[in-house]
Amino acid sequence: MAALFEHSPWVEARADAAPSRGDRHADLMAVVEAASVEEQLALIRAHPELAGRAAIDRTLTEASAAEQASAGLDRLTPAEYAEFHALNAAYRERFDFPFIICVRLTDKAGILAAMQARLENEREQEIATALAEIGKIVRLRLEDMT
């Protein structure tokens, strides 16, 4: 079974150990919301950069590789790759974690526009946005399992 959270099995383990609300997504996201800021940041940092090194050296998880491919991130021109690389670097420099977006709900142009716009956000806002995007990713992964 594919992992719902990137390299973060603790989320599912904690949800499994807690009483269920009858909604797996809600159970999982309750764990994320109750986690410490350090744990939330570790969860965010477990995600790969979009069109980043992990895509090139093929170390993406199967789910991430498929999701990035669905948005065309596996077929970038050299100019597009350079733009993603520059925006990833600027984003990581500003926030100290990778840019997270549910790529299955957008396309290359939408991702680039979001990266540029979200660089203007405050760090706390970006943490909340990244966690919300992880929630969207997990919801779609759960739907894929049913």
How many separate domains does the chain show? 1
Separation of alpha carbons 33 and 39, rounded Å: 10
What per-residue confidence (pLDDT) applies to 99? Answer: 96
What per-residue confidence (pLDDT) applies to 117? Answer: 97
What per-residue confidence (pLDDT) applies to 19? Answer: 95
Domain span at residue 76 reads: 24-145
Given a cut of 70, the residues of the chain with pLDDT beneath it are 1-2, 52-59
What per-residue confidence (pLDDT) applies to 49? Answer: 84
Q: Which position among 7, 25, 47, 85 bears the catalytic label?
A: 47
Q: Model-level pTM?
A: 0.91
What per-residue confidence (pLDDT) applies to 133? Answer: 97
Whether 47 is catalytic: yes
Tell me the CATH number at 34. Answer: 1.10.3330.10
For residue 5, tell me if it sits in a domain. Answer: no
| Residues 6 or more apart in contact with residue 15 via CB below 8 angstroms | 24, 27, 28, 30, 31
Q: Is the dihedral of CA 65, 103, 11, 53 positive or negative?
A: positive
What per-residue confidence (pLDDT) applies to 44? Answer: 97
Quick one: tokens of 28? 């999982």
